[in-house]
Chain A
Amino acid sequence: MAVDTTKNPVPFEMAQIPGPEMAKAYNTAVIGAILKKAKRPLLVVGAELFEDPVIFDKAIEIGKTGVPIAATAHSIKGFVERGYTDNVTMIGLHPLTNYLRFKDWQGLDGKGQYDVVIFMGIFYKFASAMFSALKNFNRDIKRVSIDRYYHVNADMTFGNLAFNVDQYHEAVDEVIAKLKG
């Protein structure tokens, strides 16, 4: 039985109501399919991974499917410690989002702009604001959150799973399975 990731679609900081356009919560199969279909996906992970280190392993699993990883804040350290840095790039979330909003940016690998960004393990308020920047200033990029929060400024997100760690882990696993399948 798949985790119902469409439940509880309430902004994690409840007063964060931006306007008419708000994210829809999707189930893991749909999100997994979108990631799989993406031509130039980018997984963006942040410092909250240190609070739930098993997510590093899940990020590495995603990385191994060929999705490049942008390690924001000091999260690169978690990848270095696990000996996986193949397609992981250390970059701040703020400059990364600044690059993402420009259509002429050639990406971390110089091969072109991304079409889907996937956020995971980033301080909620910061991630929300960066989704907002993309929502308003580069709408060509699909914004996906597989974090434990309902992300109001994403296109696609989980509902809030912040209070059920096991379910959250399971949901990420389901996305990975879909991505691999």
Chain B
Amino acid sequence: MDKMEGSFALEDMQNVQINIGAIVKEVDEWDQPMGPFPYPSIATLRDWDFKIMNRYKVFYSPICDRCTLCTYGPCDLTGDKRGACGIDQAAQQGRIVLIAVLMGCTAHAAHGRHLYHWCLDKFGDLPFKMGDEILVDAPLTRTIAGIKPKTLKDFGPVMSYVEEQVSQLLACTHTGQEGSFVDFESKALHAGMLDSLGKEVSDLIQIVAYDMPRGDEDAPLVECGMGTLDKKKAILITYGHNLAGSAEAMFYAEDNNLWDKVDIGGVCCTAIDNTRICEGIGHPDKEFNDNYRMVGTKAKIAGAIGWWRKMVRGDCMDCIMVDEQCVWTDAIVDAEKYKVPLIATNEKIMLGLPDRTNDPVDEIVDDLVNFRMPGVVVLDPVKAGEVGIKTAIAVKPKRAEIREADPFLSEEDFKKYAESCTYCHSCQFVCPPHIKIGDVVRAAAEGNYEPLSTTYEICVGCRRCEQVCPQDIPILSLYAYANREYIRNQKFKMRAGRGPVKDTEIRRVGAPLVLGTIPGVIAIIGCGNYPNGTKECYDIAREFVDRGFIVAATGCMAMDMSLYTDEEGKTIWEQFPGGFDGRNICNIGSCVANAHLHGAGIKVATIFAGRNERANYDDIADYILNKVGACGVAWGAYSQKAASIATGFNRLGVPAVVQSHSVMYRRAFLGRADKREDWEIIDARDGSKVYCEPAPEHMLYVAESVEECMLMMAKLCFRPSDNNSGRMIKLTHYCDISMKYFGCMPPDWHVYVRHASDLPLKWKEDMMKELESKYGWEIDWKRKAILSGPIRKSDVSFDPTNIERKIRVKK
């Protein structure tokens, strides 16, 4: 049901006006009735959450054993102790998890709210059109809110809903409110769902307003890497997630024919969104369309978040515009030190700088170019864009005047610093990826720069080493010096973010995905805190795309996996097509575009399986959990947004694997394969209970190594609905990855065998022998059939569900 608000005057009755707060009308464009849960509140989907948590046990690994949130504290909660307010350790961990998920959720939603206002101001209330190939055009909005947006303004109530729920959820974290860990986690799952909705709104608004690609598998290849920034020009770096100011800088450069004088390089998700601008199906505003067609390809991807401080030390910028999210908060310190003027363009990050929004552009530029102030706040995106471009161009020669000729350390200084290392190992005590920095610096002092090169991409640029060094060695500058040739030559290609998955693509892959013959969707998402360098994202992507999985990437992972090439010098984007299909790899877009991966799952349920998505979240999530073999990986997750993204995936029935640093998130959802009762599923045909194999076994899993990550991802693509051919294919990959990286079969392969035709052809004979000899299964060798042993028999008509109302005929 859609609500409409308005007012009208009665004829012949002047000064009489009747205000209608909300009239409700049944809109005729839906071909399905309103589902059971429009705009679900905190408790609405609690039953579904409990179903998830009954199977996937909430697992906490506290990072801090204390609570310090109220004045009774600090309270020690170790073991079975409780705090003064009565909270126990599990509930306290759940509370912190909820806060983290809310942080992530609000970051995305507030981004969307800013874009909502800005785009309405700039473009007006544009029609919401995703093109002929995307008719299920806002799947999360439909599934959660139960509405079909027709214009940008229709997203307003959706944002208001998210904001109200966030407010209610945050209230629950106050002392003396929620006290149960399972309810904290149900609330976190709710926040994760809201996060997915906020992301969808954010990205759909910018897709429409800035005419970004709508599911374009042939989205253009754009330049990526520090070396692509042309140092003969002024370089403007736009850093963060919200393209508003950055887009205006691009429009200003275009309007004034300045691209030969300035390069615009994006960092973090702003980078991806810059390159999507005006690459879509055509903007409804003809003048805008004519002026800026394909302007996105003129911007460059400077790099992912993990490269930020390496870019600073690598002298890759003349001026910085920051917007919101993932901006290192000492950016202004670096900017001042290296004489790079900084313009803060969003209220969320103002860094103590003077607000110059209402000052004339030329005055602001003059102050910045003459270093009277290290940075300014300019909250008007149009003005900020102009200031950014003008400042970059004008300051470039000034910067050259005031600095030494070579921006990198001199050879003399490099040697001096390297030789001053006392090998105290203070740096190694604080290095997240445990680089043996002392050894690296000592080798450099002896003239061997090789360790500085080989560990350059492993370094996450946190700069903790420099802060603890008693000799004040600028370790990141040593890295920059030793890798200056690499920095200059870091030139690669990345496919611009393509946006949502098309309905036509879902029609093509729906059946093979549900039956398992496309072994799964691998969603590679997230940030840049990698345990062993950026290459592992490339390795994960390559492993699965080679195996015929659908591989989709977003955000910093998409950028970082662009930095590697095959023997022919091709990046992964040049090696494989960009469709949502097996043996394809698609860059969906920036952080907020992750929502389209949720959307793809929903679309499989609604387009392929004909499920009603309208306000029907748990039904859709149940379908995905049981039938859509998909698994997310956040191999470099560092942020609270990653926590909310993963939690949102989990509520929708999609498991995720994260890397070992992600234990900092404190919470996981882990299944117990040894508890048969945890894996009881309803057969929707008749309501009978069936004990299933643990598929998927876990919902949120930390892997210790990339090898374990890949094995677990293959395993987490198993679904109860797999047909024999699909299960055989999935089992083949699971076992093959295990043989490749572990040197042996996984110990639980037999758990996933229901029928002889589930067995991989490659090992079928040996496996049947092992099933008989090791596990005591009964085998009919003449027919090569399994007579007894499996957890359940293979049944092509099995219709697994966890929701009682889906039972068609009760037994």
| A residues with CB within 8 A of B | 10, 12-16, 18-21, 46-47, 72-74, 76-77, 80-81, 85, 89-95, 97-99, 101-102, 105-106, 122-126, 128-130, 132-133, 135-137, 139, 162-163
Q: Does B394 contact A (CB under 8 A)?
A: no
CB distance from B699 to the nearest CB of A (A): 12
- Complex Cα distance, B743 from A85, in Å, reads 12
Q: Tell me whether B707 is interfacial, beta carbon within 8 Å.
A: yes
Known: A19-B76, A163-B425. 9 other contacts (CB 8 A): A18-B64, A47-B708, A73-B705, A77-B741, A77-B744, A92-B708, A94-B703, A137-B89, A137-B90
Instruction: Write 29 A-B pairs (CB below 8 A) sorted by A numbering.
Output: A10-B429, A13-B429, A15-B430, A18-B62, A18-B65, A19-B66, A21-B76, A47-B704, A47-B705, A74-B705, A76-B743, A90-B746, A91-B747, A94-B704, A95-B671, A95-B698, A98-B672, A99-B672, A124-B434, A125-B432, A132-B61, A132-B62, A133-B62, A135-B65, A136-B65, A136-B77, A136-B78, A136-B79, A162-B425
Q: Within the assembled complex, what's the spacing in Å between the Cα atoms of A21 and B80?
A: 13
Contact yes or no, A90 B744, CB < 8 A: yes
Q: Which residues of B contact A46 (CB under 8 A)?
A: 704
Chain B residues whose C-beta falls within 8 Å of the C-beta of A14 in the assembled complex = 429-430, 468
Residues of B within 8 A of A102 (CB): 672
Q: Which of A74, A139, A163 has the most CB of B within 10 A?
A: A74
Q: Which 8 pairs, one residue from A and one from B, show the smallest C-beta to C-beta distance?
A: A19-B65, A129-B663, A73-B704, A129-B61, A74-B707, A80-B743, A73-B705, A77-B743
Q: Of B428, B701, B741, which contacts A74 at CB under 8 A? A: B741
- Residues in A whose Cβ lies below 8 Å from that of B670: 94-95, 98
B463 to chain A, nearest CB (A): 14
In the complex the two chains form, is B712's CB within 8 Å of A92's CB? yes
Residues of B within 8 A of A73 (CB): 703-705, 707-708
Nearest CB in chain B: distance from A46 CB, A: 6
Q: In the docked arrangement, what's the CA distance between A163 and B746, Å?
A: 35
Chain B positions within 8 Å of A13 at CB level: 429-430, 432
Q: With the chains together, A77 CA to B738 CA distance in Å? A: 10
Taking CB atoms, residues of chain A closer than 8 Å to B62 are: 18, 132-133, 136
Residue in B closest to A108 when the chains form the complex, CB atoms: B747
Contact B701 A94 (CB under 8 A): yes
Point out the residues of chain B lying under 8 angstroms from A77, CB to CB.
741-744
> Are B702 and A81 touching (Cβ within 8 A)?
no
Cβ of A18: which chain B residues have Cβ within 8 Å of it? 62-66
Cβ of A101 and Cβ of B701 under 8 Å apart?
A: no
Q: B455 near A: Cβ within 8 Å?
A: no
Interface residues in B683-740 (C-beta closer than 8 Å to A)? 697-698, 701-705, 707-708, 711-712
Which residues from A are CB-within-8-Å of B63?
A: 16, 18, 129, 132
Return the contact of B702 from the options A47, A94, A101, A128 (Cβ within 8 A). Answer: A94
With a cutoff of 8 Å between Cβ atoms, the chain B residues found around residue A93 in the complex are 702, 704
> Which residue among B59, B61, B79, B531 has the maximum number of chain A CB atoms within 10 Å of its CB?
B61
Q: Could you say which of B90, B698, B704, B743 has the most chain A C-beta atoms within 10 Å of its C-beta?
A: B704
Partner of A123, one of B61, B430, B704: B704
The CA of A129 and the CA of B664, in the complex, are separated in Å by 8
Query: How far is A126 from B433 in the complex, measured between Cα atoms in Å?
Result: 12
A3 shortest CB reach to chain B, Å: 18
